[in-house]
Structure 1
């Protein structure tokens, strides 16, 4: 029965039917967008965050009826909804195992636990066993969806640490499960910066194909090059610690990332390449920015610039998400203490350097006051008040990476979900603007096009972007999967 279902799907795909995709743990839709760019039909998503779910529906069901859009905008808890119920809710007129060709997604990394082969076999035999598991291992739920919905291809994404999680290699265990379910699979570590994303972001990607497809798993070849900072190489080696390299060891499902010839590749897209055409923001320096929620209700028109580079052009002309007017989410945080400090910082400065700059500014202010006849003693309340107005309160020895001023001519460092709480990890490279990045600039650094709309206000917008898989990275993987599905 399973084999016939898979064969029927493959025959339809080889005849030219659009591949139908389900995105689990979809967030706002970074993976979905990359697959949409390659001609996949985004037919469903499961996302527990209501604002992210609304964003996903708004962008991928923009031409659907209000009722359909509202159905897809509903936040769904994957631990509380079975695959069969999902298919019913989406009103898809087929048996659950007939509906989707491809399943993608990245289970939240904090949900991983040391499970091992016994638990995976239990899930394979009884998908509902997951519901009795008090640890709620969400990637087991992902696998239960795979077992029930019988996709032809799978993409799973996560942080590199899943290769060395409490002594377990989660990706390896997932592959063992998938092999038992009739899949061929491999996983690797890829950095988005090598695929046209203006951000150095290392992630694990696992691809699996049903054996009936007769395809070997391959990963996309890089299109860009940059010398990664040493810290990225160190993190990769820690993640790969549990990979079997020995001559007599059991073969691993891990494959090294595709090699690249830097001589033949374009240089990586830099922060300035990505952001340089966006309107400057200086209202905060003019006293016109106030504390409070930032809504996406004011259009900031593009400046008349006919010299757009390739990346900027793509961000404005992405098929299905074109934008020739301007942006609504070019909003920034209210951080009045730090504007002068942002201006003073050098490119690449992190928190220890920022803290030293602030101490220098404090000394300069004390000297200025003394020259004007007002001496402030170091142990006084006036001194503490003045210091608090200039110097950030964090210990520079404990938070070295909390702040960073981006380098103009290099890609950005990894954007994280905590952008939703603060943006100090990405201070704008332009000292004249003296600020952290805007929501739209974060989206640009993740390769979301300007026509992609984020629901909610500033903080949820940052969080959605920081959690996402860069669409251009997803697009490179989607192109590889599409070739396999088409038998090319």
Structure 2
């Protein structure tokens, strides 16, 4: 079976469907760096399928090289794939103006694949307009944000291709936006074009992801197909978050990994969750620089958590370390990733700003998380290569659907959708 991925991001949702054996028809994403990440991942799957992963490893190893060398290696990587062997990855904003071209490219790809239909459409429009935090910060409650209505463009794909089912992922605030009126409109639009839908709040930690991450999954089924929401058993892992991180080279603030080797062999968690295999290497593992004041705060936050199991509140800091005037809201702006717990707090795109909300649990390292560590908490495998600058890498990871969560949903569809 095949799938179309719209509002793709860095590919966390599509990764699960690829692992479950679905064939991608196309990806559509407006962010250029996320598109390059999707392209690199698509090349990975092609090289894996043709027993040429040594070429991919060579490109991975260029991560710590100069930009000139990495660009040269990327060009060689792209040239290793024959024309038309990869699905189209369209770097476009989905709009009324771009839809005719997008539909043309999809139709051409279907013809190339000798396919008459699309089985599944997956994707989630940008969620900032639906988020509770975003609405609280905007004086109009995001009511005038055009992203509120991207679901109408999603429905245009349903109308044209009539897939058997679709998966629409978003933040919990989508159910309550505008006192629930927005979700009622979404339901009405989808029903009007021939789909029954059901929405549930799912938590990534129930899918084997060591992260407390609540998301709304809207599933729709064409009305001529027997309808059922995906049902999967909650995964019970007996691991802590530190087990995700302990094999990576230890770093101080401002340091980068000096080589591509791990400190330790992969543990059972890393193997079972497909995060690391024997031939993987370390990439995207470099720590931000932090000013001394922030490092002092990080140390206090980790000590408080380790010794008292208590979260640091900003007014608790010594007066010399307090620089913000706001002492009544966002008091947890410095937050430790709980290494001794079974799951982390939610990784969001704000990690791209400064890292204060994602302090490494090992006090001897005294820094915020690296891109690779954040990717692991999101369940991305170590062979997943994120393109673009570090800020973009963090945004791609924070906005993504955890691949482990997606894989379990995809496996359910594989078992219950008829070809």
Where do residues 305-454 of structure 1 align in structure 2 (5 Å cutoff)?
305=265, 308-312=267-271, 314-317=273-276, 324-337=279-292, 338-345=294-301, 346-347=304-305, 350=311, 352=313, 356-359=316-319, 387=320, 390-393=321-324, 395-410=326-341, 411-454=343-386
Greater CA deviation, 449-458 or 344-353?
A: 344-353
Distance 1:106 1:186 in 2: 15
Task: Please give the residue correspondences for 1:172-211 in structure 2 after superposition, counting only pairs within 5 Å.
Answer: 172-211=184-223
How much has 1:312 moved relative to structure 2?
5.0
Q: Which of 260, 264, 271 is the equivalent residue of 1:300?
A: 260
Would the alpha carbon gap of residues 86 and 350 (structure 1) be closer, same or farther in structure 2, given more than 3 Å must change? same
- SS of the residue corresponding to residue 311 of structure 1 reads helix
Structure 1 residue 215 displacement after superposition: 3.8
- Note the alpha carbon deviations across 1:243-291, whole angstroms, 9 max, x for none: xxxxxxxxxxxxxxxxxxxxxxx44x53212222222112x3xxxx38x
1:7-26 matched pairs, under 5 angstroms? 19-26=1-8
How far apart are residue 40 of structure 1 and its match?
1.0
- 1:447-484 residue CA offsets vs partner (Å, 9 max, x unmatched): 00000000012110000000001111111211222222
Is structure 2 residue 45 aligned with structure 1 residue 86? no
Q: Distance in 1 between matches of 2:338 and 2:31?
A: 33
Report the counterpart of residue 281 of structure 1 in structure 2: 251
2:159·2:193 contact (CA, 8 Å) conserved in 1? yes
Residue 130 of structure 2 contacts residue 171 of structure 2 at CA under 8 Å; is this kept in 1? no
Quick one: distance in 2 between partners of 1:329 and 1:80? 37
Q: Sort the Cα spacing of 1:278 and 1:169 in 2 relative to 1 into closer, same or farther, 3 A.
A: farther
Moved segments of 4+, more than 4 Å:
66-71, 80-84, 133-136, 348-351
Q: Which has the larger radius of gyration?
A: 1
The answer to whether 1:456 aligns with 2:411 is no
So what's the TM-score if we normalise by structure 1? Answer: 0.67
Taking the aligned partners of 1:482 and 1:81, their CA distance within structure 2 comes to: 34
Candidates 135, 141, 152, aligned match of 2:153: 141
Secondary structure of 2:5's aligned partner: strand
2:232 equivalent to 1:220: yes
Shift of 1:80: 5.0
1:98 aligns with 2:116: yes
1:79-103, Cα deviation, whole Å (9 max, x unpaired)? 1555552243354153999342110
Q: Residues 453, 478 of structure 1: CA spacing in aligned structure 2 closer, same or farther, 3 A cutoff? A: same
Q: 1:146 to 1:421 in 2, by over 3 A?
A: same
SS at match of 2:386: coil
Q: Which residue of 1 aligns with 2:9?
A: 27
Distance 1:475 1:169 in 2: 31
Q: Name structure 1 gaps, 5 residues minimum.
A: 1-18, 114-132, 225-265, 360-386
1:349/1:455 Cα in 2 relative to 1: closer, same or farther (>3 Å)? farther
Q: Check 1:459–1:159 CA distance in 2 against 1; reply closer, same or farther (3 A cut).
A: same
CA RMSD of aligned residues (A): 3.0
2:369 and 2:410 map into 1 onto residues whose CA distance is: 29
| SS of equivalent residue, structure 1 residue 464 | helix
Distance (Å, rounded) in 2 between the aligned partners of 1:483 and 1:443: 28
Paired residues in the alignment total 363
Structure 2 portions without partners, runs of 5+: 47-79, 132-144
Identify which range, 434-443 or 52-61, moves more after superposition: 52-61
Cα distance, 1:78–1:159 mapped onto 2, change above 3 Å? same
Greater mean deviation of Cα atoms: 428-437 or 405-414: 405-414
| Aligned-pair CA distance for 1:180 | 3.0
Distance 2:275 2:128 in 1: 35
Partners of 1:350 and 1:400 within 8 A in 2: no
User: TM (normalized to structure 2)?
Assistant: 0.78
Q: Distance in 2 between matches of 1:391 and 1:134?
A: 38
Deviation at 1:420, TM superposition (A): 1.4
Q: Indicate if the aligned counterparts of 1:107 and 1:158 stay in contact, CA closer than 8 A.
A: yes
